[in-house]
A = this chain, B = another copy of it.
Amino acid sequence: MSEPLDPAGEAAAVDLAGEARRLDAADALAPLRERFVLDDVTYLDGNSLGALPAHVPARVDDVVRRQWGELRIRSWEESGWWTAPERIGDRIAPLVGAAAGQIVVGDSTSVNVFKALVAAVRMAREDVGDGGEGGGAVRDEILVDATTFPTDGYIAESAARMTGCALRAVTPAEVPGALGDRTAAVLLNHVDYRTGRLHDLPGLTRAVHACGAYAVWDLCHSAGALPVGLDEHGVDLAVGCTYKYLNGGPGSPAYLYVRRDLQPRFDSPLPGWNSHAEPFGMRSAYAPASGAVRGRVGTPDILSLLALEAALDVWDADGVSVAAVRAKSLALTDFFLRCVGAYVPAGRVESVTPAAHDERGSQVALRCDDAGEVMKRLVESGVVGDFRAPDVLRFGFTPLYVGFADVERAARVLARTLG
């Protein structure tokens, strides 16, 4: 497909298209693209819904026809259905820098934010003797990222209301100054869903700990795209979705990380029977399981869980590591910003994604007043990103299947669309 540019941009386009070919030829991850179902659309929306890994349909079909259709309830044991939440959690663990036994998969991100935040407040209060009785501080405030994807804020408000805390919204930069001896928990995003800004997880976690509070990190826009280092940085609790950079499929279940030493103290507000020490004992008294299983709630959603499990196989291919993915991600976003700079008339869009690598996730967000209309026309031209109200064009770069030629084409079509 050829996209006409104005004559001034022609020479730059020839150069950048050539550079894209050279970069793709040198890209060790390029062969992974074959593992996904893609077409001639330039798909830069993997940060909303990851593309379909090519082997997943056959796996899902086996789950439906054989495991459900033929084995029926025997599959709870024989097909490993019952243990899927923690088994698949252990597959996600290395991608976010966690040792095994600390992640369970299940429920939505929103539900997991609720579990994590309420549990965090309870731990903070336990530390000070449940409301100051031990002579310590009263822990009655939750801090939440003021720029968060809205659901985290809504759920934090409910968690605060139900634990008798005040909720205060502050930007991540303001967090260190806002922390105090009343802070119980802080809910933060590793990467901002709108701007793509990467926040300082190690530094903010240290600051939260220094005041005796608990840090809950939302990894939706970082897991699978860049190193997280949950264990290394001592994160307390974390949640994330699996349908973006982990390619688990539409609405695939989210996950919950509870650091191993905190697990015995994890006091869930949703203590469903799957989190019981003896789930088939049918006991009327609740007794929590030990380990990550304690974060489970109800019957796991098997079709979606096992589609996700299959999707994670992509990460077992030779040479795939989070470090390699991160290096390519930065190269892709760097190259996109260069192409946009070369093709798009100055001043027509403004990048709200930080230029510094250590502040950038795996997306580029461009602000322009008519973003909604522009994205509509871009999609019609076969470049799929998404629009985030009120004025942001959002482009996500999944290193497993996006190449440099995609990037160059997207910038070229964007320039024409904006022209």
Contacts and interface: CB of A to CB of B under 8 A. Distances in A.
A202 interface: no
Interface string A219-247: 00000000000000000000001010000
Contact of A251 (B48, B52, B303): B303
A75 B250 contact: yes
B49 A65 contact: no
Nearest to A305: B251
Interface of A: 37, 39, 43, 45, 48-49, 51-52, 56-57, 60-61, 64-65, 67-70, 72-73, 75-76, 81, 107-111, 114, 118, 146, 149-151, 153-155, 157-158, 162-163, 169, 194, 241, 243, 249-254, 268-274, 276, 280-284, 286, 297-305, 307, 384, 386, 388-389
A298 B111 contact: yes
A272 B110 contact: yes
A111 B110 contact: no
Nearest to A241: B299
B72 A45 contact: yes
A270 B303 contact: no
A108 B299 contact: yes
Given A52-B68, A73-B45, A109 B57 contact: no
Contacts of A68: 49, 52, 249-250
A105 to B, nearest CB: 12
